[in-house]
Structure 1
Amino acid sequence: MTSTALHPVTLDKFSQLPNIEESPAWELIDGQVLQKPMPTFHHSRLQKRLVTSIDNTNGPYEAFPELRCILSQNSIVPDITIIHQSRIPTDNEPFKGAPNWLIEILSPGQSTTKLITKIQVCLDEGTQLGWLIDSQETVVMIFMSNQPLRLFRGDSLLPVLSDLSLQLTPHQIFGWLQS
């Protein structure tokens, strides 16, 4: 699943590779070519419910599952990409730039460090908010530029983008796995 090269791969070389859009998608993070793991049922359920919850706010943002984002040196496919409506491309090309907010859902056997790296790469390029959801530990890790990592459990209200009217708690999110 992972391509290990002696020399880092550039974004130009990566974009010329065949089948980078196959399922599951391939990503380029810090010069390393990685294939995302196949999502589990819990992963898919959380992804579906989060996209629906965000889109149902009728706010100025839209949530997209598995949308490729082309950054300055990386090509990532977050589990959920949230972007302002003014930034939604009108063509059918990959999204260029960092998402306003991204959500990653940790799957069994997936590297937490690699997901944190992906979130940090986006924060470095302008992403305002990153969530990393760990259903095994029932915790949501919150990443924001120039702020320490915060862990949310139980009925703590999760931070969202300031102009988005959405109230979710880890308890609600992990409750979706029981229904």
Structure 2
Amino acid sequence: MRINHQTTATQALTLEEFLNLPETQPPSEFINGDIIQKHTPQGQHSLIQIELCKAIDRVAKPNKIAKAFPELRCTFGGDSIIPDIAVFRWARIPIEPSGKIANRFEIHPDWAIEILSPDQRQTKVLSNLLHCSRHGTEFGWLIDPEVESILVIDSTQRVELLSGTSRLPILREIELELTVDQVFDWLTLG
């Protein structure tokens, strides 16, 4: 096993052993048997993440269609990942017998969104989105603020690069029309 980004490993861990470790800051993911520490979000990443969660929740939460979760650990298919935004249809959100939301989400998101940070490897993030797609996620987005484009991965693992006025695909029940330009317009405060 390798621990990448800021630490080193001495022995292999199982997924369950990894999940019992204390949480790191920034958090770590368990991917293909490796522990990989996420990058600390910076300004553009944080602003896109906040605005996109608000936009999704504004149209999806009132009618209990879906909910956007920032930085939520999702454990499925032998990996434990933390998409920048994980969107779950309302009926799939894990609920405890008490009626409260569960702490552990051991299912794939319906829509996974990653925002590329400076110096972050695009292939690692794309690999997470492809893992999601292989396990049932309907859409994955890889948002790249530096080049103002968004890679979209659908459930068949078809990848499409969108930019400018291209309309972004969204879960069909969510009535949200959003273009690539609108996402990056959030970065201009004024």
Instruction: Verify same fold: TM over 0.5.
Output: yes
Query: 1:40 matched to which residue of 2?
Result: 42
Query: 1:30 matched to which residue of 2?
Result: 32
* Structure 2 spans left out of the alignment, 5+ residues: 97-101
Query: 1:175 matched to which residue of 2?
Result: 185
Match of 2:82 among 69, 77, 92: 77
Q: Please state how far the C-alpha of 1:7 moved relative to its aligned partner.
A: 7.0
Query: 1:143 matched to which residue of 2?
Result: 153
* Structure 1 spans left out of the alignment, 5+ residues: none
Q: Please state how far the C-alpha of 1:5 moved relative to its aligned partner.
A: 5.0
Q: Please state how far the C-alpha of 1:16 moved relative to its aligned partner.
A: 2.4
Does the CA-based 8 Å contact 2:143-2:149 persist in structure 1?
Answer: yes
Two-structure CA RMSD over aligned residues (Å): 1.6
Does the CA-based 8 Å contact 2:134-2:157 persist in structure 1?
Answer: no
Query: 2:135 matched to which residue of 1?
Result: 125
Q: How far, CA to CA, are the matches of 1:74 and 1:3 in structure 2?
A: 19
Residues 145-154 or 39-48, more deviating: 145-154
Larger Rg: 2
Match of 1:64 among 66, 69, 78: 69
Label 1:98 to 1:154 Cα distance change in 2 as closer, same or farther (>3 A): same
Q: Please state how far the C-alpha of 1:29 moved relative to its aligned partner.
A: 1.0
SS state at 1:82 partner: strand
- Matched residue pairs, number? 177
1:5-37 deviation line (CA, Å, top 9, x unaligned) = 5876421221122x22x3321111111101111
Does the CA-based 8 Å contact 1:3-1:32 persist in structure 2?
Answer: no
Does the CA-based 8 Å contact 1:104-1:132 persist in structure 2?
Answer: yes
Q: Which amino acid aligns with 1:11?
A: L
Identity %: 39
Q: Which amino acid aligns with 1:63?
A: A
Q: Please state how far the C-alpha of 1:134 moved relative to its aligned partner.
A: 0.1
SS state at 1:64 partner: strand
Does the CA-based 8 Å contact 1:67-1:94 persist in structure 2?
Answer: no
SS state at 2:147 partner: coil
Q: TM-score, normalised by structure 1?
A: 0.92
SS state at 1:96 partner: coil
Q: Please state how far the C-alpha of 1:155 moved relative to its aligned partner.
A: 0.6
Does the CA-based 8 Å contact 2:130-2:157 persist in structure 1?
Answer: no
